[in-house]
Amino acid sequence: MYGLMPECSLEMPDSYYGLDDYEKGVARWCSGCGDHAVLSAVQRMCREKQLPPEKTVFVSGIGCSSRFPHYMDTYGFHGLHGRAFPVACGVKFRRPDLNVFVVTGDGDCCSIGAGHWVHGVRYNMDITVLLFDNEIYGMTKKQTSPTSPLGTKSNTHPTGSVLPPVDILQTTLGLSNVSFVAQTTDWVPGHLYATIKKAHEHPGFAFVKIMMRCPKFMQDLVDQHTSNRDLYSLLEHDDGIQVDPATSQLFENKVKHDPSNIHNARELLENGKSWYLGLLYQNQEAIRYDLYGSQNLGFSTDQKMEALETELDKFAI
């Protein structure tokens, strides 16, 4: 007779995460840096998808982009230069229940981290990758990066870079077991958000190249990229990146492209006539290596020790 009767008990509402549940500290990027826009888009996406902060991990290497985990109130790992992918793969391999993101830059990924980039794509683990490409080493104060345009004047090449840049998208599309490749920009927020959301929903290694502003060291390039809409083409398809009408109207050039056609994606990039924004390729049936790591996750300590002893007994003399 004491206490509330079952029919009188109150049902507590489900937890709801707001933007403030993902915000942490004040971002220390330069004023006007495109990184701010990506941070806002990611936090908004986390809120819409209601990703539990304690079940979400951001992994980075070294560079301006790699300060990203410091500004997300989730788990984070700020690793060594170029080593974000192996750390993220290790996390996902043994904790498939976590939402794992990698935030990397054109130097971090395409220079010292190039070998891990190749195998990260091949492993095709369920990880969302955001590559910030501002075509310069910004944190070290204007050094030529692997994606700097030919002739870029920097502290390492004061008379202009002498090698052509790495083609990030063509390289990724040429790797074994690739499953998701998209391109967006930081200065078109509607497309940026829709692309990140689509990438997170992909069951595999979702690779997103984000064309990034660096007004501190690459102002001429920023002006070129943002002032001429003729430079860009919006990729459209029912299976592609879906944007609102207001965002679509920003693009004078639109191209129909089936993201299941990897050969057409490569041909679009080879013609060099435009920067294509949207989903270039997606294959949801590609082999996922992280599924092999999900075996025996429920083993107790005693079971793990028993299994280890069984293996070691095979070498007994």
Output the pLDDT for position 226. 82
Does residue 204 register a pLDDT over 80? yes
Output the pLDDT for position 5. 53
How far apart are the C-alpha atoms of 154 and 143, rounded to whole Å? Answer: 5
Q: Which of 316, 146, 137 is nearest to 218 (CA)?
A: 137
Output the pLDDT for position 271. 82
Does residue 3 register a pLDDT over 80? no
* Of 58-62, 137-141, 272-276, highest mean pLDDT: 58-62
Least confident of 53-67, 104-118, 290-304: 290-304
Average pLDDT rounded to a whole number, residues 205-227: 89
Output the pLDDT for position 74. 98
Average pLDDT rounded to a whole number, residues 242-257: 95
- CA separation (Å) from 241 to 180, 229, 244, 254, 285? 12, 19, 10, 13, 19
The more confident residue out of 136 and 40 is 40
Confidence class for position 227, pLDDT limits 50, 70, 90: confident
- Between 114-123 and 84-94, two packed helices, what is the crossing angle to 10 degrees? 30
Cβ 209 vs Cβ 169: under 8 Å: yes
Neighbours of 266 (CB within 10 A): 15
Neighbours of 38 (CB within 10 A): 24
Residue extents of the structural domains in the chain? 16-288
Output the pLDDT for position 14. 72
Output the pLDDT for position 1. 42
Output the pLDDT for position 2. 43
Average pLDDT rounded to a whole number, residues 149-178: 94
Q: What percent of the chain has pLDDT over 90?
A: 77
Confidence class for position 223, pLDDT limits 50, 70, 90: confident
pTM: 0.89
Q: Which of 81, 82, 77, 94 is nearest to 120 (CA)?
A: 82
Average pLDDT rounded to a whole number, residues 131-140: 90
What is the chain's mean pLDDT, rounded? Answer: 92
Output the pLDDT for position 303. 87
Output the pLDDT for position 10. 54
Domain boundaries 16-288, corresponding CATH code: 3.40.50.970
DSSP for the chain?
Answer: --S--GGGPPPPPPP---GGGTB-S---SPTT-THHHHHHHHHHHHHHHT--GGGEEEEE-SSSGGGGGGGBSSEEEE-STT-HHHHHHHHHHH-TTSEEEEEEEHHIIIIITHHHHHHHHHHT-SEEEEEEE-SSBTTTTSB--TTPPTT---SS-TT---SPPP-HHHHHHTSTT--EEEEEETT-HHHHHHHHHHHHHSSS-EEEEEE---TTT-HHHHHHHHH-GGGEEEEE-TTS----HHHHTT-S-EEE--TT-HHHHHHHHHH-S-EEEEEEEE-TTS--GGGGGGTTTT--HHHHHHHHHHHHHTT--
Query: At CA 258, angle to CA 252 and CA 260, rounded to 5?
Result: 145
The more confident residue out of 76 and 11 is 76
Neighbours of 10 (CB within 10 A): 6
